[in-house]
Amino acid sequence: MKSSITSTFYLTGDFYDTLEKYRNMVFKKIDQSIKRKYSSGLLTNLLPEYPSRRGKGIRPALCLGSCAAVGGDIQDALNSACAIELFHNAFLVKDDIEDGSQYRRNEETIVSKYGSAIAINIGDALAVLAIKLLINNVEQTGVHKALDIVEQIQYMAKVTVEGQAAELEWVRGNYWNLNNADYYDMCTKKTSWYTAITPCRIGARIGFPDISDSNIKSLTRFSYNLGLAFQIQDDVLNILGEESEYGKEINGDLLEGKRTLIMIILYNSSKTREKRQIRNIFGKKRAEKTRGDIKYIHDLLEKYRCIEKSSNISKDFARKAITVLDNECDWMKNVEMKLFLRDIAAYVVERNK
């Protein structure tokens, strides 16, 4: 039975149960892997820090859900799902260092608690652990498929760091000659590939050995749109969310000077004198920005309805993802799990954290 969320998006009654089931499977195996790999010392104590805070679990859920949707056994995809989640946590540790972030999942960031040296070491160790799980795929999936998964992960990492580098360069150069398409390109690299595209493609390849190029293209279109919907909604929550729910500091993107879709829309909507002030505020270092600076930006965002416009764009991408799933993915054998993937698209734009 379906429960209405909005006139467009809805979730099935057991969506959260399935999501929690997958989260429990993944985090249990990650915990076991950490204890097996590191028996004592600093790494044993600190490696579980981010994984144990239990994020949303969207990435491993997409991997396991895609595997099940095409008729596969999710146990065959569990190593890969865990590796993807570990890479995600490794990226988060490094992101927090680069951005100077103070909170992650309702607690202090690792860099805030222990300093950059230990944080860098923890990020590296999480990535090493992920690689070990990918190696273990040889026994689970065979050599050929295990190598294919490694290639998928390698490409994901490549485009992710490219997207991150573009965003950092925009901030460093106080660069504003940007439009929505520039953001979508950066976000596709930084977010869509490792949040949605790679998890879905790996899960489907594991579950459906004879999957066609056409099937992969359809799945990629679904997850491309899903990834953009996810990130734009995340940008919205960074400004509007409740810190206790969101888990990160509100206005962190503004303090860090990020060129979110919200800010690109604002800058391109603003008058000349407003553009000048935006550049001045975003040209300041994080510690130099004042409450007055943040209020000025918030007032402009309200004036030009930038948050509402961005939220609507996020929902448009979610609708596109659902349309692809509904119209191009009849080849998925497990209707229940296909519906779970559809629910994820609805969830990412209706969530509050």
Domain ranges for the chain, please list them: 2-350
C-beta of residue 96 within 8 angstroms of C-beta of residue 37:
no
Structure token digits, residue 10: 């809805």
Q: Where are the alpha helices (H) located in the chain, listed in sequence order?
A: 15-37, 42-46, 49-52, 58-69, 74-99, 110-114, 116-141, 143-172, 180-187, 198-207, 213-240, 243-246, 252-256, 261-269, 272-282, 291-303, 306-328, 335-350
Query: What is the rounded CA–CA span in Å between residue 125 and residue 131?
Result: 10
Question: Which helix (H) or strand (E) is 2 found in, with range?
Answer: strand 2-4
**When comparing pLDDT for 140 and 79, which is higher?**
79
**When comparing pLDDT for 26 and 105, which is higher?**
26
> What is the average pLDDT across 55-72?
95
Gyration radius of the chain's alpha carbons: 20
Q: What would the pLDDT profile of 243-289 be if each residue is shown by its tens digit? A: 666 667 789 999 999 999 999 999 999 999 999 999 999 999 999 99
The yes-or-no verdict on residue 1 having pLDDT over 50 is no
C-beta of residue 96 within 8 angstroms of C-beta of residue 119:
yes
Give domain 2-350's CATH superfamily: Farnesyl Diphosphate Synthase (1.10.600.10)
Going by their DSSP bridges, the two strands 107-108 and 103-104 should be labelled as: antiparallel
Provide the pLDDT for residue 59: 96
